[in-house]
Structure 1
């Protein structure tokens, strides 16, 4: 009688999938637990995510990069006075404080088409690392396409909806906020870009479009810029953003 074949417990059937994802799969095991190395790696990733939440905008580097576009630049602040209040009171992060609001009113900008906002969100690290490289692709493309740009703004302790107020104060047809997304254990530096046509305070998420996970390990800058340019053109053509505006760029290329 043939002996039953012994199952190979050394090979994890998930191992071949590791090259396609940064998710924690095929970690191996020691007894009934994951290996010590993987346990430490998990704690390190968790620490990076927590650090990202409490990170700050590197204003010196950001302003240096923004001034290269030859546009006025304003540094603004939400109504959240510090990071702790920002985390505990999301509503305050959606509104400019009085000084920032007055600063934009004094700008006296005439009607423009696009207002870019850089905001820390839940990962200033993402903005510090990815916002300027993305703008370096976008701004020349938008100017070549004939779009007019409002003064650039950087908002601290800010949430997505703060761009609605900023866009309205700058008389822009479209506000675009580049903001740090909630960090994950494999992506503490993910940048999100949100679009709002006819921005004004009080709009909800259904009025916006979003492109997320912009970073070299996620959605590369070049592809993100291509998608953003397409959505800008469609938003201006249809005079809307949100659930009625779809990203059909893949269909156009197919």
Structure 2
């Protein structure tokens, strides 16, 4: 390939999110740890969900008053990865003052969410994001952007186009490859044009069998336990486990916060 062609190919690979996210060994944060590397609080849903045991039908109604911290699944998944890649928690010093923490949090959230950070912001007084966010919930909620960051996520255009079996199969392979590099991918799961689920989660581990791949995800709506996104190898399709807001079942999926287009 000519030099100009190689340069163009490299540019396209970066813009489409195909370039490997790698760091020198001494800067790699290691495997994503659940629950240590997640927020202690959850994104609150604007709907209350119920299940009629007699009919097995799901119902919902709008929460009144509306939760003050809601519609931030994308914001929280993105921020969890920014803290994972761009922060280092040091529990040995005593906790510092709120203004210092505000400055450090802003510095972490200004980092590029689409690739590993070349430096780590040191956050003193706590061993991990879980304990830090439990102690400073109000500070972190104020720092996390409003719903606009999820609404205007640049990859939202993808949901209106078809999802082929080949696309879903390739995505499963990409997710495994990212995890092998200690880079937890962020995935948009949806059933568009249905609105039963339209959600962003962070994939942090995978369990493989001959029949399926069980991707373990951090679901910002549920900080209590991982939620499983399953890839069926025979059907080349994904399904999402039941949650309080989704009855479970088939979904489409694609990676976001990955390259210029997503």
Q: In proportion to residue count, which structure has more helix?
A: 1
- Structure number with greater CO (CA < 8 Å, separation at least 6) is 2
TM-score by length of 2: 0.26
